[in-house]
Structure 1
Amino acid sequence: MTVTDRSPTDSDYQARVRRAHAELRASPSPEIAPWPVRAPVLDSWRRSLAAAPVGARSARAVLEGDELDRARRAHPFSAMLPLLRSRLIEPAVEAGLVVALGDAAGRLLWVEGRSSVTARADEMGFAEGADWSEPAMGTSAPALALTTGTPFQVVGAEHFHEAVHAWSCSAVPVLDPRTGRAVGVLDVTGSADAVAPLVLPLLEATSRAVQDELRGQLPEPRRSPGSPAELLLTGRRTPLLRCGDHEIELGRRHAELLTLLHLASEGIRGAELAEELHGSASAEGTVRAEVVRLRRVLSRAGGPEIASRPYRLLGEVDSDLRRTRAALSRADLDAALTHWRGELLPESEAPAIRHLRARTGEHLRELVLERGTATQLWAYAQLPATADDLEVLMAILQVAAPDAPERAAAAARARELRGEAG
């Protein structure tokens, strides 16, 4: 039976995960292959391991007293507490569970439950004002819901810190319906009942109800006069165009068009654009229709305009791709790694996009291997497309200090990739 076949609540799975934690606590370079944990949880462990050592700990209170009160009043959940209580808090508390409402940074603004349960939760720092983001407390359902933007459940020993192993939790993000950004997180924590089959549907239904309320309460974001539009294209299945505070989710073809237009400062002819997108100048008519549809999308959202003959964007447009390419041209690895979040438009098969993707990715890899510090190499190894790059991991082992956390994490991943047993 593989990890993916096994339920997270399965006692054998939990026993294997606890043994993996014991290895982590005993050695800075644990020899575990394969890791007996679900893939998204393993990815979170890796990020958590790079941020902090494993050990028993509790969350730190970052909001207290008047500061917590101000954060609550400023948060959209404050106006929806009646809805949240009737839809989520009351039924969950009645079932003996703890409900937490957190902001987009992972700070818990409200924590409610029976006093006997919340008193135990307090012991691990699961309390109002505490920071339960992934950098602060490692793997947990609230952290993964905010990190991935999707509902998530974390069971027992899947938590990164040992102090949380007695608990299980389910969480969903709440998204701003206009921008798609997380405004907060809803979490249910407790015994194994917190990850029962009905819990996630309850949380998801509550999240949808809150988002419906947000749609009618929040004012439309306005683009600041003269502010540049920004394309977010790397490491994303759904690319975005950001215009001030407004974000537009882009379909694949629209993202491809905008990528090529914003790189062509002098404009680009229709036949050339057809070659770059479809591999044939005969597709110019198709490109013309696609540009018309894109203009409508941009017009409704207050985005940049597209001129014709040649096609070109009017107004300033920047992108993570352009910033990455500029950083690579001056060999600024820190800046390049900040802006390059993964492959350029990974779903695209357009000839010009595939060429840009390969050329930029290869340039970054060569520069990292040639000049990268242990920290820079490890940051590069966290990208989705490079997580299994053994040459990069071996480079970390060559340059990292013996006690560097990057060395320990790289050694563990290298052994896993080579299939070496502990």
Structure 2
Amino acid sequence: MGQVQLEAAVPVGADPRRHARVLAQVHEAALSGEALPSHPRAVIGASWQRMRRLGLDPDRGAPVPLLVPEQLEARRRESGLAPVLPALRGALIGLAEQAAHIMVISDAEGRVLWRDGSAAVRRRADGLGFVEGVDWREESVGTNAIGTALVAGHPVQVYSAEHYVRSQHDWTCAAAPLRDPRDGRLLGAVDLSGPASTVHPTTLALVDAVAKLAEAQLHTTHLSELERLRGLASPLLAKVKGRAVIADPHGWIAASAGLAPVGRIALPNDATAGRTWLPTFGDCLLEPLPGGWLVRLTDEEDAPPTRVVLDLRSSRESTLRVSGAAGTWSHRLSPRHAEMLYVLARHREGRSASELSLDLFGDAGRTVTVRAEMSRMRRHFGGILLARPYRFADDVEVVVERPADGEVLPHSLAPAVRA
């Protein structure tokens, strides 16, 4: 997604109370269809539009059933966030208590998994229904830092009447998404929330920094796991005839034999033992190993893909599905790669680096970034993407699956997507 400029909810030098009154006027005008006295920030305005399309009740939101304790514990185990919980708590709990805030951690679907901090603020949050096990997505409770950050894909601060549902106007919150550094998958969000009177311009930067710290810890853990797999790989590959690699479940290469070194291959999301087609290598055999896969190249003639489906139906996760004679293969896409493939799907004739730069950034001069990202994708999706110009292969059928409401990649700021 690139570097995102952090935008505090209260403008520098503005009086928070006066700003809250202005926001309340803007909120009421937006709901009543009257002319706005001023415009909300872009991230807030886009969220309000989503809420209006959903028909969300601005007084009560949508029914939000709680998870039972067994479901909550299962979500905590499956979230992938438990390993970084001590780091998040260590960085934020003390500050949250001093600043009359609570720290909240949600999963990728906006379910509140953990909540800690000021006892007095926790009691106020109880009255709002902001408790462990609740669904805090935009679709349930309207514009809020957790739900909106999960959709936008970047840190978000929401203050007072920027919240879509009126019962949250007495609150301020700042949240940052948490991503798995192994595959870019969205894991959840970390949030600081408190009474609106406690709003502070540095809260968003703090939450963003703590989220990056947690992701760095996950990255360090991954490197240790890859090193353990590498210790297993070397003696095993010495006995393998032909070309092969050993990769972890996310496609990161621990060792290879008979092949030029590569950092990562794109494995199917639902990889299983047996024959499969991989964009990087063509026809392969997958054999399970403790902590990864042995990938043997069969040296048979590649069966070229015939159909590509770009699945953009979810606002939180995009997938590329590839079909051909060897079967169907699917892979999760990063937000940036989803944007680029969507633009190429709309322009089957192809786009030059400068055209893609204009499409993605509104600036034709960022060709170095475009070429680097396209090089990564072509390594992953060989046989599907061509260069000069960048395009899908001519003999591949390309299908784009869109959301039911028609808004493709709602998190994207790319001009070609928003247009």
- CA distance in structure 1 between the partners assigned to 2:413 and 2:212 by the alignment: 29
Q: Specify which of 169, 172, 177 is matched with residue 173 of structure 1.
A: 177
Q: Specify which of 138, 145, 149 is matched with residue 141 of structure 1.
A: 145
- Tell me the residue number matched to 1:64: 68
Q: Check if 1:38 corresponds to 2:41.
A: yes
- Tell me the residue number matched to 2:282: none
SS of the aligned residue for 1:244 comes to strand
Q: Check if 1:11 corresponds to 2:41.
A: no
- Tell me the residue number matched to 1:110: 114
Distance 1:207 1:230, change over 3 A: farther
- Displacement of 1:155: 1.0
- Tell me the residue number matched to 1:99: 103
- Tell me the residue number matched to 1:185: 189
- Displacement of 1:114: 2.7
- Tell me the residue number matched to 2:295: none
Once the two structures are superposed, residues 176-230 of structure 1 have per-residue CA deviations (whole angstroms, 9 ceiling, x without a partner) of 3244342101110013475423322221121112212333556415225359655
- Tell me the residue number matched to 1:215: 219
Q: Check if 1:297 corresponds to 2:297.
A: no
- CA distance in structure 2 between the partners assigned to 1:134 and 1:203 by the alignment: 20
- CA distance in structure 1 between the partners assigned to 2:65 and 2:339 by the alignment: 46
SS of the aligned residue for 2:105 comes to strand
Q: Specify which of 73, 76, 79 is matched with residue 77 of structure 2.
A: 73
Q: How many residue pairs get matched?
A: 310
- CA distance in structure 2 between the partners assigned to 1:253 and 1:202 by the alignment: 28
- Tell me the residue number matched to 1:352: none
Distance 1:131 1:194, change over 3 A: farther
- CA distance in structure 2 between the partners assigned to 1:295 and 1:46 by the alignment: 32
- Tell me the residue number matched to 1:244: 330
- CA distance in structure 2 between the partners assigned to 1:147 and 1:196 by the alignment: 23
Q: Decide whether the 8 Å contact of 2:378 with 2:386 is kept in 1.
A: no
- CA distance in structure 2 between the partners assigned to 1:39 and 1:295 by the alignment: 29
Q: Check if 1:47 corresponds to 2:50.
A: yes
For residues 246-285 of structure 1, what are the structure 2 equivalents within 5 Å?
A: 246-247=332-333, 259=345, 263=348
Q: Decide whether the 8 Å contact of 1:170 with 1:195 is kept in 2.
A: no
Q: Decide whether the 8 Å contact of 1:155 with 1:195 is kept in 2.
A: yes
Distance 1:116 1:49, change over 3 A: same
- CA distance in structure 2 between the partners assigned to 1:245 and 1:161 by the alignment: 36
- Tell me the residue number matched to 1:318: 398
- Displacement of 1:79: 1.8
Q: Specify which of 202, 207, 229 is matched with residue 203 of structure 1.
A: 207
- CA distance in structure 2 between the partners assigned to 1:293 and 1:113 by the alignment: 43
Identify the structure with the greater helix proportion: 1
- Displacement of 1:78: 1.2
- State which drifts further: 67-76 or 184-193: 184-193
SS of the aligned residue for 1:207 comes to helix
- Displacement of 1:33: 2.9
- CA distance in structure 2 between the partners assigned to 1:54 and 1:150 by the alignment: 24
Over the matched positions of the two proteins, sequence identity in percent amounts to 27
Distance 1:12 1:79, change over 3 A: same
- CA distance in structure 1 between the partners assigned to 2:342 and 2:167 by the alignment: 47
Q: Decide whether the 8 Å contact of 2:145 with 2:175 is kept in 1.
A: yes
- Displacement of 1:161: 1.5
Q: Over the residues paired in the alignment, what is the CA RMSD in angstroms?
A: 4.7
- CA distance in structure 1 between the partners assigned to 2:62 and 2:14 by the alignment: 23
SS of the aligned residue for 1:139 comes to coil
- CA distance in structure 2 between the partners assigned to 1:162 and 1:345 by the alignment: 27
- CA distance in structure 2 between the partners assigned to 1:134 and 1:167 by the alignment: 16
Distance 1:49 1:312, change over 3 A: closer
Once the two structures are superposed, residues 282-307 of structure 1 have per-residue CA deviations (whole angstroms, 9 ceiling, x without a partner) of xxxxxxxxxx9889634643544668
- CA distance in structure 1 between the partners assigned to 2:312 and 2:126 by the alignment: 41
Q: Decide whether the 8 Å contact of 2:150 with 2:177 is kept in 1.
A: yes
TM-score by length of 2: 0.59
- State which drifts further: 74-83 or 36-45: 36-45
Once the two structures are superposed, residues 347-389 of structure 1 have per-residue CA deviations (whole angstroms, 9 ceiling, x without a partner) of 67xxxxxxxxxxxxxxxxxxxxxxxxxxxxxxxxxx943xxxx
Distance 1:277 1:185, change over 3 A: closer
- CA distance in structure 2 between the partners assigned to 1:217 and 1:134 by the alignment: 32
Distance 1:57 1:303, change over 3 A: same
- CA distance in structure 2 between the partners assigned to 1:19 and 1:116 by the alignment: 29
SS of the aligned residue for 1:76 comes to coil
Q: Decide whether the 8 Å contact of 1:240 with 1:250 is kept in 2.
A: no
Distance 1:193 1:306, change over 3 A: same
- Tell me the residue number matched to 2:226: none
Distance 1:296 1:124, change over 3 A: closer
Q: Specify which of 146, 155, 159 is matched with residue 155 of structure 1.
A: 159
- Displacement of 1:40: 2.3
SS of the aligned residue for 1:116 comes to helix
- Tell me the residue number matched to 1:90: 94
Read off the aligned partner of 1:86 and give its amino acid letter.
G
Q: Greater relative contact order: 1 or 2 (C-alpha under 8 angstroms, separation 6 or more)?
A: 1
Read off the aligned partner of 2:20 and give its amino acid letter.
Q
Q: Decide whether the 8 Å contact of 1:174 with 1:183 is kept in 2.
A: yes
- Displacement of 1:247: 2.6
SS of the aligned residue for 2:81 comes to helix
Q: Which runs of 5+ in 2 are unaligned?
A: 1-8, 223-248, 252-266, 278-304, 322-328, 357-370
SS of the aligned residue for 2:19 comes to helix
